Structure 1
C-alpha cells in the first residue's frame, strides 16, 4: 500500500508498505482527513531518537473503520472516528499507577508515527479500538474533529497543568495552533487575564478571538520585562509554554510569581543537553514555583469530551485550519508547509476522498 515514510533523517517520501493485519482488539482504518504536525517536522528534520526504517509518519487523523477484530465491541466498519494522537496501551500496568502517557516506557503514549506505523497511509492499525477511538457526533465537521485529536487536547493539557484558578493572570508563550488552544483552555478554566506572546498577524487575530486580553511581541523588547511591567512586578500566576527555543524555559521561570507561580510546558525542545534554569528568579532553588512538563492527554474518553465542547458550541477549533489540500499524495506538500510556516498558515488539512 502507498505510505508516506521517514526514509532517513532529513528525508521523507513515498514507500510501498505492507498492509496492516487486524488484531483481536484492534481496527483497520483508512484516513479521511489528516494534518501534519510540527512533531512530524521534528521527526523528519530535527533528529531525535532513532526510528525504524521506512517508518510511516503521521498521528493526526479522522478515519473510517474498515475492519474490526473479534473482540471489538463498540465500533464497526463504516464508522467515522477521530484517532487521538496519543494512544497509550491501556492494558499496561503503569496505567494503574495513573501514568497515562509514559506507562510502559518514555513516550509510550505517543506511538503513532514514532514507534509504530502512523496514519499517512492507505490503511493503518489501531491495536485497541474500544479504548482509543471516538465516534464523531452528527453536525461536527472534519475540520473540527481533526483539530481535536492533537492541537486541542495538547493546548488544553497545557492549561489544565497550569493549575488555573478563577481570576488568575496567565501568560501563553507561543501562539501557534497549540498556544491558541492553550489560550482557549485557560479562558474556559477561569483565567481572567491572558497575555499571549506572538507576532504573526493570523495568530494574533485568533488569540484575541479565543480569549487573550493582551498580545505581546518579542519584537517589542524583552518579553519577561513586558510581563513584569504589566503585572506590577508580581509576575503571572501561571505560564504555559507552547513554542520557542530553549530560552523560553528560563523566561517562563523568570515571569512566574514567587510562591504560587506554575509553569506548564507542552513545548518540544530538540537536541540534547540541558534547559536553562535561572538561579535568581528561581529563588536560588527556593522560589516556590511549580514546573509541569507534559505530554498531551489521549484516549477515547478525552476525545469524546473534547468533541462535546465542539458539539455544544464551547470551542471553534476549525478556525485553526487555514489551508486545505485534497488527496493522500498532498501529505508531502502539507509537511513542507508546516516546515516553512508561511505567514498565513496555522494548520493545513489534507482531505482524502476514496473513490
Structure 2
C-alpha cells in the first residue's frame, strides 16, 4: 500500500509499505478520505519528536477491510469513522472516564518525555490498522457523506471539548483565541452549548473572515487593537469562558487576562516551550479562576454523538474543507496547509 512516511525533519512522502493485517481485537480499514492536522505539521517540522518511519496522520474515514478475532457487531464493507484518540476502554484511565489519557495501543511515541494519550497513527495511507477496534469503530449513518463526518475525528471533537470542558452555560460570553480549524470548531461548540456571544480573536484576515462566515458574533484582530481591553468592554468586565486554541504564551496569557473573576480558561493548545502564568493576570491566585486542559475526546460513543449532532442539522462542518487533493499529491497539500496559502482551513485527501 501507499503511505505517507516521516523520515526526518522536512523529509517525508509516499512510500510503498506492506498492507497491515488485523490481529486480535484489531481491524484494518481502507481509507476513503483523510486530512492534515497541525500536529502533522509539527511532526514533519521536527517540533514534536517522533521516531523516523512513522506513518503520519490520525483523522480519517473508511470502509472495514478486515476484522480480527474477538470483534462483534461489525462487518467487512461497513463505512466507519475512527476517532484520532483510540482508547482501549479497559484501563484505569478509560474506566475513570478519561479516555483520551489511555496508555495502551501503538500511538505516537513519547513526545518530549510525555505520552500523547493513545493517538492513532497512520491515517494518511491507503489502509489503517485500528487498535481496540471494538471501542473505536463508529458506523456512519447512511445519510451522511464522508466529508460531513471527516472532521469529527479530531478537530471538531477537540474544538467542541474546549467549550464542554470550559463549562459554557446558556447566556455566557465566550472568547476564543485563534481561529484556525480547532479554534473555529471551539467557536461553533460554544454556540452549541448556548453562549449568548462568541468572540473570535486572530491575526489572519482570511481566518477572521471565515469566522464571520461561520457566525462568530464578533471578530477581533490582535494586530491592530488591544483585544483584552475590547473583550472586557464588550462583555462588561470579562468573558465567562476563554478558550485558548493555539498553544503559545501570548494566547494563553491573553485568554487569562480576558476573563472575568470566577471565569474559566479552557486550554486546547499543545505547548512546545516554557509556559508561564503572570501573577497579576491570575489575580495572585485570588480570582476564583479555573484552568482546564483537554485532549481530543475519542472512542466510538463520542463519534456516534458527534455524528448525531451533524445528522440532526445542528452543525455543518463541510465549509471548513476548503481544498481537496489526491494522496499522490500529499506534499503539495502539506505545502499549501503549512504556508496557509489561498485561505486554506482544512484539506481533504482521497486515495
Q: Per-residue displacement from partner, 1:121-165 (whole Å, max 9, x unpaired)? A: 222210222210111112212211111111110110111011111
Quote how far apart the aligned CAs of 1:18 are: 3.0
Q: Given the alignment of the two structures, is residue 161 of structure 1 paired with residue 165 of structure 2, yes or no? A: yes
**1:99 shift after superposition:** 2.5
Q: Is 1:245 the equivalent of 2:248?
A: yes
Distance in 1, matches of 2:208 and 2:159, equals 16
Quote the offset at 1:108 in angstroms. 5.1
Segments of structure 1 that go 5 or more residues without pairing to the other structure are: none
Q: Which residue of 1 aligns with 2:346?
A: 347
Note if 1:112 corresponds to 2:123: no
The question of 1:255 aligning with 2:258 is answered: yes
* Deviation, structure 1 residue 244: 5.6
1:337 match: 336
Superposed counterparts of 1:53-64, under 5 Å: 53-64=52-63
Deviations 1:196-222 (A, max 9, x none): 112444433442344421111112222
> Would the aligned equivalents of 2:21 and 2:66 in 1 still touch at CA under 8 Å?
no
Please report how far the alpha carbon of residue 343 of structure 1 lies from its aligned counterpart in structure 2 after TM superposition.
4.2
Q: Which runs of 5+ in 2 are unaligned?
A: 105-113
Contact 2:5–2:55, Cα closer than 8 Å, also in 1? yes
Aligned length: 342
2:116 and 2:26 map into 1 onto residues whose CA distance is 18
Which whole-Å deviations, capped at 9, do the CAs of 1:283-312 have from their partners, x for residues lacking one?
Answer: 112221100111011110010111111111
CA contact (8 A) 1:66 1:77 kept: yes
Which residue number corresponds to residue 186 of structure 2?
Answer: 182
CA distance in 1, matches of 2:250, 2:46: 18
RMSD across aligned positions (CA): 1.7
Distance in 1 of aligned mates of 2:98 and 2:313? 31
8 Å contact kept, 1:87–1:298: yes
SS in 2 for 1:13: strand
Q: 1:276: Cα distance to partner?
A: 2.1
Conserved? CA contact 2:87–2:132, under 8 Å: no
Which residue in the other structure is 1:294 paired with? 294
Maintained 8 Å contact 1:9/1:45: yes
- In the alignment, which residue of structure 1 is the partner of 2:110? none
User: With structure 2 as the length reference, what TM-score do the two structures score?
Assistant: 0.92
Match of 1:170 among 170, 174, 178: 174
Q: Which whole-Å CA distance do the structure 2 matches of 1:63 and 1:314 have between them?
A: 24
Displacement after TM superposition at 1:17 (Å): 2.5
Task: Give 1:1-355 correspondences, 5 Å limit.
Answer: 1-49=1-49, 51-104=50-103, 106-107=114-115, 109-113=117-121, 118-232=122-236, 234-243=237-246, 245-258=248-261, 260-270=262-272, 272=273, 274-326=274-326, 328-352=327-351
- When the two structures are superposed, what TM-score results if normalisation uses the length of structure 1? 0.91
Gap change, CA 1:180 and 1:108, over 3 Å in 2: closer
Q: d(CA) in 1 for partners of 2:21 and 2:265?
A: 43
**Partner SS, residue 243 of structure 2:** strand
Moved more, 81-90 or 94-103: 94-103
- Counterpart contact for 1:281–1:287, Cα < 8 Å: no
1:110: Cα distance to partner? Answer: 3.8
Alpha-carbon distance in structure 2 between the residues aligned to 1:319 and 1:52: 34
Change (3 A) 1:244 1:220: farther
Tell me the distance in 1 between the aligned counterparts of 2:21 and 2:86: 18
- 1:257 partner SS: strand
User: Is 1:196–1:216's contact at 8 Å kept on the other side of the alignment?
Assistant: yes
SS in 2 for 1:219: coil
Q: 1:141 to 1:200 in 2, by over 3 A?
A: farther
Q: Is the 8 A contact 1:15 1:54 kept in 2?
A: no
